[in-house]
Structure 1
């Protein structure tokens, strides 16, 4: 019985060591990319803020003009999506694809 308790204690120490080693390895691997990821996140947040603020102030979204040529591709993907989600017809009133 005492030997079993000692084995469980050793197993706990080994698991704790591997957890710390894994955390260290993750930190060492992710360190060079941290600034690039933060910069990409900041850029994405800035774009979102610009779009939300322009919508709030009544300024038309310029992305709609530049993405009109993507509508045929998006319509096909939208149709596949709503069928995959179990909707027989488009859930949006202004997008008829069926």
Structure 2
């Protein structure tokens, strides 16, 4: 066998991939730009809605401790230790300067 036959057996995909530039980085930048274009106007609105939802969930979790009758307290009682870290931020955002609980020393 001569060397010319080996070069003729090259796969077409090898020659195509060497000739064409890689468009993957360009495509990733393009889709990131489109995401930014479509999501930028709504980012603040979505963040506010997520914060309001989190505030409502915190109120639901700590309602029994605040003196509000809560029918879901059985289910939320075990979640309280997990969300106690965020409790100080929540009660200051809700307008309570000091912690409403005597047994929790967050302030």
The TM-score with structure 2 as length reference comes to: 0.46
Please identify which structure carries the higher helix content. 1
Tell me which structure has the larger Cα radius of gyration.
2
